[in-house]
Structure 1
C-alpha cells in the first residue's frame, strides 16, 4: 500500500466513523422515544431500557452502514478535490482507476464489518431480544405496579391504582373486566395486594365492591365484600404461538435444508421469505463494496470548477436512491417468486458496472478525444 493509499484510507475510515455515529444516533433517538415510553411507562427499570436499546443497535447499524460508507467516500473525494490533492495525483500520471484502490480497500473493510453484523451479531441480537420481550411481557407485576394511570394489560381489561405504599399496599384500586360483553364486571377496593403463588398471580382486594351488568336482562347487581381474590394470571400477555423470528435464525441454519423445511412447516414461513432473508444478508455485504466505489467514481467524472462538484454530488445521491429502489423492488419479487433470488444482487452489480464505466470515462475525458481529432 502506497503512502497516498494509506492517507486516503485513513480519511475514509475517520469520515465513516463520524457519519455512522451521527446516523445511528439520529435513528436511535427516533426509535428510543417510543421504546422508552413503552418500557418505563409499563413499570420496567432503566436497565431494561438500556438492554433493549443495546440489543437493537446491530439492526440500526446494519441499516445505516451503507449510507455512512457512501457519505464517507463522497465527502473524502470532494475534500481531496477541493484541496487540489486529487488534482496533484492526477497530474503525476495516476489514473482515476489507480486512485480508486484505497476506496476499494475501504469497501472491503466495511464489507467485512457488514458480514459479521448480518451473519452473526444481528441474528443473535434479534433472538436474544425476542427472549427478553417474552420475559418482560410475562412480568405482570411490573406491568400493573404503575400508580396514577389507567393501564390495559389485556384487551377489554382496565386497571387503575391510586397510590402504592412503601410496603407494597395498593390503594384505591379499580379493575374493569369487559372481556365478556354480555356480563362486564367492575371491581373497586380501598386496598389490595398482589399475591404470587408459583406461576399464579392473584389480586386480593379489601373493603370493596363488585358490580356485574347483565346485558340480557339489563340489570345491574352490586356486591359488597370485605376481601376478595381475583386471579389475574390470564392478563399476562405472551408471545403468539411461540413462532420463531426468521430474522433471528443464524445464517448457518438458514443454509441447511432441514432448517428451511422446519421453518416452512412448523412456523408458517414461505420458501420465498426464507430465500429472501438468506440472500439479503449476503447482498448487504456486496452493497458495502459497490456504494463507496460508485460515489467516488461519480465525483471523478467532474473536472475543476470554482463552484465545486455539486452536479456530480447530486448525481451520486440520485444513483444511491435508484439502487435502494431496486433493492426494495427485488425484495418483493423474491418473496413471491424465490427462484429470482439473483435479483437481490442486481443493485450491487449495477453499482459496480456504473463504477467501471465512470472510471473509464474519467480516465479518457472528452476533451482528450477532441484534441486528438483536431490534430488529425
Structure 2
C-alpha cells in the first residue's frame, strides 16, 4: 500500500470514528430516555442503568456503522477533491480504480467490524440484556423499598412504607392486595422486614392488623397479630429462560441448532449487514469521483451519493420485511448489497472513461 493509500485510509478511519461516536450518542440518548424512565420507576440504581446502556450499544453500533462508513467516505473524498489532492495523484497516473483501493480496504475493515458485531457481540449482548431484564423483573425489593411513596409493583398490589432504617427495618407498613378472588386483603404493621427466601421473598410484619373484605357478602374481618409472614411470590414476574431466542443466539450456534429457513434467513441477514458497509462505501466514493474536479465543489455528486444510498437502503428494508413474512425468500437478502456494489463499479467505470460524458466539468477533466 502506497503512501497516499495509507494517508487516505487514515483519514477515512479517523472520520469514521468521529461519525460513529456522534451517531452512537444520538441513538443512545434516544434509547436511554425510555430505559431511564423504566428503571427509575422500578427503583433501580444508576449502576444498573449504565450496565443496560452498555449492553444496548452493540445493537446500536451494528445498524449505524454502514452509515458512518458512507459519511466518512463522502466527507474525505470531498475534502481531498476541494484541496486538489485527488487532482495531483490523478495527474501522477492514478486511475479511478487505483484511487478506490484505500476506500475498498476501508470498506472491508468496516465490514469485518460489523460482521463481528452482528454474528457474535450483538447476540451475546441481547442475551445478557434479557437476563438482566429478568433479574430486574424479579427484584421485588427495589420496587417495594421506596420511602413515603405508594407503589404498585404488580396489578392489584399497593404498598407503602414510611421509613427504612439503615439496618433495613421497615416502619409503618401498609399492604393492600386484591389478588385473591372475591376478597380484598389489607395489612398494616408498625414494623417489618423483607427477607429473601429461596423461592420468593417474604415480608415479615410485626405488631399489626389484617383486614379481609369479602366482596360478595360485603363482610369485613379484622385480625390483630404480633407477627405475620406474607409471601411475595405473587409479585414475581414469570421467569423466562434467557438466550433461547433467535436474536440472542450467535450465528454458529444458530446454524448448529438446525438449518431451518428462519435460521438461514437470520444468518444471511447478519452477513448482509456486514457486506453493506463495503457496498455503501463504494457508492459514496464512486459518486464523488465521477464528478472530476470543479472549483464550485461536488454538491451535485454528494446529492447523487445520498440519493443512491436512500435507494439501496430502501430496497434493503423492503427485502428485509418480505423475508420476515416469508423466510424461504432468504436468498434475495443480498440483492440490495449487490446493487450497491454494481452501482459503485459503474460509477468508477464512468470516471475512468471521461470521454463518454456528454459535457465536461466546470474545471475540466484530466486526460
Task: Provide the TM-score with structure 1 as the length reference.
Answer: 0.87
The verdict on how the C-alpha distance between 1:159 and 1:274 changes in structure 2, with shifts beyond 3 A counting, is farther
Q: Deviations over 1:32-79 (max 9, x none)?
A: 233233335434333333222222221121121111111110110111
How far apart, in 2, do the equivalents of 1:227 and 1:40 lie? 32
Map 1:54-203 onto structure 2 (within 5 A).
Answer: 54-180=54-180, 182-203=182-203
How far apart, in 2, do the equivalents of 1:182 and 1:171 lie? 30
How far apart, in 1, do the equivalents of 2:86 and 2:11 lie? 13
Question: Is 1:365 the counterpart of 2:363 in the alignment?
Answer: no
Contact 1:205 1:229 in 2 (8 A): yes
The verdict on how the C-alpha distance between 1:243 and 1:220 changes in structure 2, with shifts beyond 3 A counting, is farther
The gaps in structure 1 that reach 5 residues or longer are: 262-270, 372-376
State the partner residue of 2:364.
none
How far apart, in 2, do the equivalents of 1:15 and 1:344 lie? 29
State the partner residue of 1:32.
32
Contact 1:272 1:335 in 2 (8 A): no
Which structure carries more relative contact order (alpha carbon 8 Å, separation 6+)?
2
State the partner residue of 1:235.
235
The verdict on how the C-alpha distance between 1:368 and 1:126 changes in structure 2, with shifts beyond 3 A counting, is closer
Deviation of the 1:183 alpha carbon: 1.7
Task: Provide the TM-score with structure 2 as the length reference.
Answer: 0.89
The verdict on how the C-alpha distance between 1:186 and 1:106 changes in structure 2, with shifts beyond 3 A counting, is same
How far apart, in 2, do the equivalents of 1:350 and 1:237 lie? 47
Deviation of the 1:170 alpha carbon: 1.4
Contact 1:157 1:175 in 2 (8 A): yes
The verdict on how the C-alpha distance between 1:165 and 1:177 changes in structure 2, with shifts beyond 3 A counting, is same
Q: How many residues align?
A: 360
How far apart, in 2, do the equivalents of 1:179 and 1:167 lie? 31
Question: Which aligned segments of 4 or more residues in structure 1 are displaced greater than 6 angstroms?
Answer: none
Question: Is 1:301 the counterpart of 2:290 in the alignment?
Answer: yes
State the partner residue of 1:52.
52
Contact 2:148 2:162 in 1 (8 A): yes
| Higher deviation after alignment, 12-21 or 338-347 | 338-347
Contact 1:185 1:210 in 2 (8 A): yes
Deviation of the 1:363 alpha carbon: 2.2
Q: Deviations over 1:188-227 (max 9, x none)?
A: 3332211233334211223333333333234444444443
Deviation of the 1:147 alpha carbon: 2.1
